[in-house]
Structure 1
């Protein structure tokens, strides 16, 4: 087997046949109708899972703003990181759309799960515009960017949250042990919309428009959280009743902690702006819900974080090859930072304050490691030379070479 074929076996966002091999599970692959196959000499290399790089980079910047403790130079550094995330979002969006691989990827049971990454990338960059971009482009322009990216990301996220489960029910077929962390990706975007939409609530017209936005965010939080809990139950059952995941699927276990952390973040953000739209009794109830419900969910997130850490250490000892799924380490840790910071702000607990700081330190270290591996991967494989000797972007060598 040639080196290029081995590379594609480790990429979860490649073509249909590749997707099943990269799953990394010792179980049998997903079964069902075969997905469409691309041209053997010009297959799309860029899958939707790469948008997780934007999510991870963006949350490094956004979490710096919400951190309970401020450090010298942190805000300027976060601004630079946010600009990098915005540029990366633009480049990936153009490159992915040029491939015209939407139908190919939607037909694959594994790749389709990662359609949740592009809307969350839009939402993350949009919230960064509100938290950081206003210092650079002005408040009015930042609001315009925030509204546009939030609206686009929310629509795409809702479409993904409805469409991908429908495809899983009607078109895709799975083995009993096929559940993995990527199944959370389609249902998490509405929770991110809820958390980032809270930043826009104070800027919406007072009255019915603002109330509708707030209630819509709560509804999307419920949609995402309940769906995520159902998927987590399936993943937990898969972990308990079948062999432990191996290879590049292991990082996706971390997505569970990200989904739970994002729900706590959304609860806190919505409770903070609820008094501007809800009557007094219900605004107070939102604050109580954010505190008590947030702590309960945060505790479950910590359990999942410990489980994911143990599986990751086990995988590293066995040899963990690089794949786009490595970005699954980043956003979940960032969600734990924002969730812990939200609880610290609401309770005043120094324990939460310093846990948020520790989580952020780990987030930055993990981001540096994964970003470094991604850059090396891009330098080696984005441009490659086919048989004719002319470099083409987004092509692969014929099999057997």
Structure 2
């Protein structure tokens, strides 16, 4: 990322908000690895190392995007007005919520401050994105993709740390909003996928985002209710169903060129892995524990591969350039 420094304002101008999807992947891997270490009775060394790396990456991304906001506000405004990229702005607040969840066991005071900032940012960004969707702008079916689930996912993330911080009612508020818009958007997205033109190659990896809302909602529901009831089981199994549906598209994925959108597949896998570990811990299911381990291994391989591919793309100047 050295060649994208402020010394090259043209590169900075094209620094995309979608880079924050990298943060969701790294933090998702940290949480998934922490759950795997707990299930295996191992020390939390690997997850803490990944968490430290994620914090460093997040700091760099915040600096670069902050510089872009100051030096090139028109470019940021153009991303906000983009029918696809606008959905990626909540990845910033989601990163804060995931970071607070990962830090809560070790530094609860700092985690609470980060969570509070993340909740405020998530609320503002979610309302702003939804207001933009239902405003005077005309959206076409081709603009719709599973990336539109991102704001809803951010809302259902709030209870993961919020319940432990004693913010139960606020957590219910965000959870309710997330579930509502997940159901609405799920109908719209499935209509688009079935009855309209296929997703562009760059957006094909966002299909994996279908897994994230029910998987995260399962974990949030268990945190809020303290029980794995019938509704919790429905949510988890919907996540598995979407995972199987995504697997049917795997042959198409392998032929796609690399793009930052590939990072969209990491967090949903992490969410399903964590959900599997939570179910295993609550019910004693050995099968779900094995699923959690398998998904975590796949996720670690995917993140490592994407880090290499992203570094190669940055070196080749294939990312921060005008579209």
TM-score (norm 2): 0.89
Residue in 1 that maps onto 2:28: 59
Mapped pair 1:356 → 2:269:
no
1: CA distance, partners of 2:195 / 2:209? 20
Q: CA deviation at 1:246?
A: 4.0
- Specify the alignment match of 1:325 in structure 2: 261
SS of aligned partner of 2:104: helix
- How big is the alpha-carbon RMSD for the aligned residues of Structure 1 and Structure 2? 2.2
| Distance in 2 separating the partners of 1:156 and 1:297 | 26
Tell me, yes or no, if structure 1 residue 342 matches structure 2 residue 316: no
The answer on 1:128 being equivalent to 2:102 is: yes
Distance (whole Å) between structure 2 residues aligned to residue 342 and residue 245 of structure 1: 33
By how many angstroms is 1:56 displaced?
0.8
Measured against aligned partners, the alpha-carbon deviations of 1:110-165 in whole angstroms (never above 9, x if no partner) come to 1111111101111112222124xx2xxxxxxx223201211111111111211111
Please state how far the C-alpha of 1:192 moved relative to its aligned partner. Answer: 1.1
In 2, Cα distance between the equivalents of 1:186 and 1:349? Answer: 32
The counterpart of 1:294, out of the listed 232, 254, 260, is 232
Conserved 8 A contact 2:84-2:144:
no
More helix by share: 2
Distance 1:369 1:294 in 2: 33
Which residue does the alignment assign to 1:48? 17
| Structure 2 contact 215–275 (Cα < 8 Å) conserved | yes
Q: Does 1:373 align with 2:309?
A: yes
CA contact (8 A) 2:32 2:270 kept: yes
Q: Could you tell me which residue of structure 2 aligns to residue 249 of structure 1?
A: 203
Contact 1:109/1:172 (8 A) holds in 2: no
Q: Is the 8 A contact 2:12 2:64 kept in 1?
A: no
Give 2:143's aligned residue.
178
Structure 2 unaligned regions, length at least 5: 1-8
Q: Distance in 2 between matches of 1:119 and 1:355?
A: 29
Moved >3 Å (runs of 4+) = 40-43
Aligned residue pairs total: 309
In structure 2, the residue matched to 1:77 is 46
Q: Which digits, 9 at most, give the CA deviation of each residue in 1:204-259, with x for residues without a partner? A: xxxxxxxxx11211221111112112111111111111233241111111112011
Structure 1 172/182 Cα, relative in aligned 2: closer, same or farther at 3 Å? Answer: farther
- Judge conservation of contact 1:178–1:238 (CA < 8 Å) in 2: no
- Select 1:119's aligned residue among 93, 103, 114: 93
Partner of 2:4: none
What residue in structure 1 maps to residue 217 of structure 2? 263
Q: 1:193 aligns with which of 158, 166, 182?
A: 158
What's 2:3 paired with? none
In the alignment, which residue of structure 1 is the partner of 2:126? 161
Cα offsets for 1:18-45 (capped at 9, x unmatched): xxxxxxxxxxxxxxxxxxxxxx956622
